[in-house]
Structure 1
Amino acid sequence: MIGVEEARALVVSAARPLGTEAVPLASAAGRRLAAPVVAPHDAPAVPVSAMDGYAVRDADLEAGPCVLPLAGASFAGSPEPAPLPPGACLRIFTGAPLPLGADRVVMQEEVEALEGSARFIGPVIGRRHVRAAGSDFHAGDVLVPAGAVLTPQRLVAAAAADQAALQVWRRPRVAILATGDELVEPGSLHGRPGAICESVSFGVAALAETWGADVVSRGRCRDDLQSLQAAAASAVAGADVVVTTGGASVGERDFARAMFEPLGLEILFAKVAMKPGKPIWIGRVGATFIVGLPGNPTSALVTARLFLAPLLAGLAGADPERAWAWRRLPLAGPVGCAGDRETFALGRCGAGGVEMLVVQDSASQRSLCEADLLIRRRPGASGAAAGEPVECLSF
């Protein structure tokens, strides 16, 4: 059995990016960039109008109200118009290229349209309503840095940079195997005495996707070693990470590790001095990581947050340490002394500070609904009073 920090360090050291792939821009939402998006050109390429109106020369409006003949029109997407002759104006629309010689765009609301000409009240002052060439970005500018997650805003910038596809880090493929004779699929519990709804895999799958993974399969397995070994072989063949829930202890039917042994399982660590979740273990079969979570819901979700989250983050090209962004927050009320094992208690953050939930049972599922953070209590820590800071992690 090893300590929490030692287990964390082993995970961080092993969590290296899986590699990159090119994906179409339309499929890139939520992906993490492996290479920056660099602008290949200025935007806009030429000065363009920021309003619907009339392009004019300032010199032609200095004398006051006047009528200027129309020299044509410019629309968004049209070629750059001919230079604007002195003493004339050009009908122009938002995003349309400005003619050479024009100094500003006068909004159409401030102009009276006439047949073949336009009447200007003048003199015109204030904003020019012109977007200069390169005013958005210049060729060579990094619009989205490597490592950034592609949000809707960043996708807009990537598209504006004329990128049809983007180089992103590959998302780890995760297979989840829930083990236990007692488990049944939610919705099928009625009339089955002794059965329990399999719940943990749904939370683990959601956590995996949150931290950058694609869940490629999720299945339930009975506690039969032969069938478990077949399921293990199938999962390893199609995944970068296989997560098992249950069977991680020392009971007669706890086969979580035995099911992978014929495949050449190598253990990274087995058991961590923590509460809840001591049976957590991580190993490898070739290039595939195996993460053995306890079967109890709270234990499984706590250990998944602490060890599976940084593993997936690192495999997906992020810094695995970001999954361990602990903060010190004040307690809303007193807490007692800690035990001899490092403890991660369910808590929630309110207006008065951090509150430790009353029910901390490793099998509790209702408490999971109420928790939004983990409170870390070091071994042997003394009690803490209301207002004292404690280490907290988003959950």
Structure 2
Amino acid sequence: MISFDEALASVVAIGQPLGVETIPFPEASGRVLAKAVSARFAMPRTDVSAMDGYAVRDADLCALPFSLPIAGESVAGSPPGQVLPARAAMRIFTGAPLPEGADRVIVQESAQRDGNVVTFHRSYGPGRHIRKAGSDFRAGELLMPAGRLLDWKSLTTAAAGDRGEVSVFLRPRVAIIATGDELADPGVAGTRPGAIPESVSYGIAALTTQQGGIVVRCERLPDQPARLRIAAAQALADADLLIMIGGASVGDRDHSRSVFEQDLDYVFPKVAIKPGKPVWLARVGRRLVLGLPGNPTSALVTARLFLVPLLQGLSGRDPGEAVVFETMICSDPLPDCGDRETFLRARRIDGSLRLAVSQDSSGQLELATCDALIRLLPGTPALPAGTAVSFLPF
């Protein structure tokens, strides 16, 4: 059994990208860049208007009011190169190329048009309302570095590079097997005496997808070694990572470690934490197997601690960034944690942490409302309310 820090360091080390592929840009949402995106050309490509109004030459400005003939029009998407004649104005719209010779744009609120003549009757101020060519970025400039997740904001910036294809890391393929004779599908458990709804695999599948993985199969099986052995072999053939939920302890019906045809090459066999001591990680050939406890709270806590950084690393992100602890005051007194590192569920309320009423490893009621894991090091004594504690967003 190893410490939490040792286990996390092992996950960070083993969480390496699985490969690279090139995909059409419209399919890039949620992917991680394997190659930086640079700009094919400057933005704006030429000087453009920042407002709707009239392009004019400084040399033609007179005491208000004064009038100029309208020599033409420039709209967004017009080809650049129009020339503004001397002693004239040109109607121009936001984003439109500035005609050659123009020095400023006078906004339309300061002007009044009558046919092909515009009269400037209000003070137009010192602003020129021009976006200079390359003022956003230059041709060849880095827009998005490798390793960046293409979320809704970074995807917008990357699109400005005008790249039809992007190089991204492969998404890890994940199989999930939940074990337990007592488990039944939600909606069915109530019809079978002694059954309980199987809940953990749904949360783990959602977390996997959220963190960039692809769930290629998700099964619920009874504690039957023969069936589990077949399912595990099929899962390892299909997936880069197999997540076994339940059966991680040492009871007579705990089979999740013993159903593999090859011997497990443990990264770690268990971790000195509470909840979640039975969590384990191993290699089976070229594949990875993560064993999560069957109790819902233990499963979700260990998934946050180890599955999240593992998936981020496998999908091309920095796994170390997935587990960064912050500090906040806890408004409740804290119990002593004994000889195992302890993670307490809590909620962030009005700038402080409040403990979940129940810290039971099988609890589910408060999982949806808890958004923090308070970290207590081994041997930490009971602490009074108002203590600053280390916590991880949950």
Give the structure 1 partner of residue 202 of structure 2.
202
CA contact (8 A) 2:107 2:124 kept: no
CA distance in 2: counterparts of 1:266 and 1:65, whole angstroms:
85
Give the structure 2 partner of residue 157 of structure 1.
157
SS of corresponding position for 1:344? strand
CA contact (8 A) 1:47 1:132 kept: yes
CA contact (8 A) 1:66 1:122 kept: no
Q: Partner amino acid for 2:385?
A: A
CA distance in 2: counterparts of 1:328 and 1:124, whole angstroms:
51
Alpha-carbon displacement from aligned partner over 1:264-289 (angstroms, at most 9, x marks no partner): 53222212222221111111122211
Give the structure 1 partner of residue 329 of structure 2.
330
Alpha-carbon displacement from aligned partner over 1:322-357 (angstroms, at most 9, x marks no partner): 222112322212223221222222222223732333
TM-score by length of 2: 0.94
CA distance in 1: counterparts of 2:309 and 2:140, whole angstroms:
34
CA distance in 2: counterparts of 1:181 and 1:24, whole angstroms:
45
Mapping of residues 98-177 of structure 1, within 5 Å: 98-121=98-121, 124-177=124-177
Aligned residues: 394
Q: Is 1:22 aligned to 2:4, yes or no?
A: no
Q: Partner amino acid for 1:383?
A: A
Task: Give the unaligned 5+ runs of structure 2.
Answer: none
CA contact (8 A) 2:346 2:373 kept: yes
Query: What is the RMSD computed on CA atoms of the aligned residues?
Result: 1.9
Q: Partner amino acid for 1:162?
A: D
CA contact (8 A) 1:233 1:263 kept: no
SS of corresponding position for 1:301? helix
Mapping of residues 52-71 of structure 1, within 5 Å: 52-71=52-71
CA distance in 2: counterparts of 1:319 and 1:82, whole angstroms:
49
Give the structure 1 partner of residue 190 of structure 2.
190
Q: CA deviation at 1:179?
A: 0.8
Alpha-carbon displacement from aligned partner over 1:5-35 (angstroms, at most 9, x marks no partner): 2222221211111122223222222222222
CA contact (8 A) 2:22 2:165 kept: yes
CA contact (8 A) 1:25 1:155 kept: no
Alpha-carbon displacement from aligned partner over 1:216-242 (angstroms, at most 9, x marks no partner): 221111222121111111111111111
SS of corresponding position for 2:205? helix
Q: Partner amino acid for 1:33?
A: L
Give the structure 2 partner of residue 227 of structure 1.
227
Give the structure 1 partner of residue 392 of structure 2.
393
The change in CA–CA distance for 1:67 and 1:345 in structure 2 (over 3 A counts) is closer
SS of corresponding position for 1:370? coil
SS of corresponding position for 1:234? helix
CA distance in 2: counterparts of 1:144 and 1:325, whole angstroms:
23
CA distance in 2: counterparts of 1:137 and 1:368, whole angstroms:
45
Q: Partner amino acid for 1:355?
A: R
The change in CA–CA distance for 1:310 and 1:74 in structure 2 (over 3 A counts) is same
The change in CA–CA distance for 1:141 and 1:367 in structure 2 (over 3 A counts) is same
CA contact (8 A) 1:63 1:123 kept: no
State the identity as a percent: 51
SS of corresponding position for 2:2? coil
Task: Give the unaligned 5+ runs of structure 1.
Answer: none
CA contact (8 A) 1:82 1:100 kept: yes
SS of corresponding position for 1:150? coil
Give the structure 1 partner of residue 82 of structure 2.
82
CA distance in 1: counterparts of 2:292 and 2:224, whole angstroms:
18
Give the structure 1 partner of residue 301 of structure 2.
302
CA distance in 2: counterparts of 1:219 and 1:347, whole angstroms:
31
Give the structure 2 partner of residue 379 of structure 1.
378
CA distance in 1: counterparts of 2:113 and 2:364, whole angstroms:
70
CA distance in 2: counterparts of 1:54 and 1:117, whole angstroms:
11
CA distance in 2: counterparts of 1:3 and 1:174, whole angstroms:
26
Per mean C-alpha deviation after superposition, the further-off stretch among 310-319 and 113-122 is 113-122
CA distance in 2: counterparts of 1:135 and 1:277, whole angstroms:
53
CA distance in 2: counterparts of 1:159 and 1:93, whole angstroms:
23
Q: CA deviation at 1:194?
A: 0.7
The change in CA–CA distance for 1:113 and 1:354 in structure 2 (over 3 A counts) is closer
SS of corresponding position for 2:322? helix
Give the structure 2 partner of residue 351 of structure 1.
350
Give the structure 1 partner of residue 35 of structure 2.
35
SS of corresponding position for 1:67? strand
Per mean C-alpha deviation after superposition, the further-off stretch among 41-50 and 290-299 is 41-50
